[in-house]
Structures are given as C-alpha cells and as structure tokens.
Structure 1
Amino acid sequence: MALTDAGFTDYDIDRSVVLFTMMDDTTSVPCAISTDAMDQIEGVKRTSAGQREQQFLRLRDKISECASRKFVAVELEGRPPGIILRAIDFRG
C-alpha cells in the first residue's frame, strides 16, 4: 500500500532536514528530507531557513511520491523506523 501525505512537521536547522509525516492507513510514518535534496529538486543553491516550509509545500508531491517508493521497497531507517530522503533519491 502506498503512503498518503500527512504534512509538514518541522524544519530541523541543526540537522539540515525538514521533518514530515506520511500515513500508512492509520499509522503515522516519520519522514525527513535533506535540505540539499529539496534545493536539488528546485535547482537552487541555498534556500533560507525561513523559506524551508514553503519550499517543502511547493515540492510536496515529488517528496511524497519518493517517500512512497521507499516505503514500498521497505527502505526504512532509524528508530522508530522511518523514511529519510536524500539528494541521491531524486537523481535520475
């Protein structure tokens, strides 16, 4: 089953990731995407910290699609298990 979008959670400036959740039926799946990945998708060099949530919202469809692919492929990491998206996940 593919995941469905549940939305933006937070921007962790210390780890340079945007945290978000996806839903597997009624189960929340923690997710993160690196800021490098988001900048690569948009073709920009560096987005300011204050613009990260808006950038995530603009890219939500691409991010959700990639997270769903990794979930179906059971590419989960961390504790609790979740999805981490990096720039390499969007090359191709």
Structure 2
Amino acid sequence: MAFTSGSFHRYDEDRSVVLFSMIHGHTEVPCAISSDAMDFLDGAKRTSPAQREQQFMRLRASIETRAERKFENAEMEGKPAGIILRSIDFR
C-alpha cells in the first residue's frame, strides 16, 4: 500500500513543530517535524514562524521520504500513534 502526501496542518509555535499528515491506504497518519530538523535540512538558522509553511513546502519531498521510512520501520510515537521527525533523523 502506498504512503502518500497528506495535508499541511500548521506550525505549532508552542512545540516548535510543523504538523502535517501522510496517507496510508485510507488512513491519515499524523506527522510532525521539528523546526530544528527543518532548519538543518535547509541549512538555515532560526527561520521565523511566519516562514515555516513555505519552508515545509520547499522541503516537503525530503521530509515525506524520511516520514515514509520511519513508517515502514514502525517507528511510530505518541497517542494517537504518528511520525515525529527530529534533526537526528536527517543526519
């Protein structure tokens, strides 16, 4: 079953993560990526909250590839279970 793009939800400034989803079959899988991870991927330092959605969209292919790998390896976290990407996931 394919793991495909879902939706960009929002930047959660309190948690410093971008919330998004991926789709597996007919199931939406909640996902998050830390702002540190996106800055690491982008070679940036402290991107402003207003620019997080644009940054996510620019990096989306790399982010989703890593999310898919974590999903395939059953590296789900939290309740409800989802994918959480951190800068260490891109090193």
Where has structure 1 moved over 4 Å in runs of 4 or more?
none
Question: Which residue pairs with 1:26 in the alignment?
Answer: 26
User: Number of aligned pairs?
Assistant: 91
SS at match of 1:9: strand
Structure 1 unaligned blocks of 5 or more: none
Same amino acid, percent of matched pairs: 63
Amino acid at match of 2:63: I
Alignment of structure 1 residues 6-85 onto 2, 5 Å: 6-85=6-85
CA displacement at 1:88 relative to structure 2 = 0.2
Structure 2 unaligned blocks of 5 or more: none
TM-score, with structure 1 as normaliser? 0.96
TM-score, with structure 2 as normaliser? 0.97
Q: Which string of whole-angstrom CA distances, capped at 9 and with x for unpartnered residues, describes residues 13-53 of structure 1? A: 00000000000011000000000000000001110000000
CA displacement at 1:2 relative to structure 2 = 4.4
User: Larger RCO: Structure 1 or Structure 2 (Cα < 8 Å, ≥ 6 residues apart)?
Assistant: 1
Measure, in 2, the Cα distance between the counterparts of 1:42 and 1:35. 10
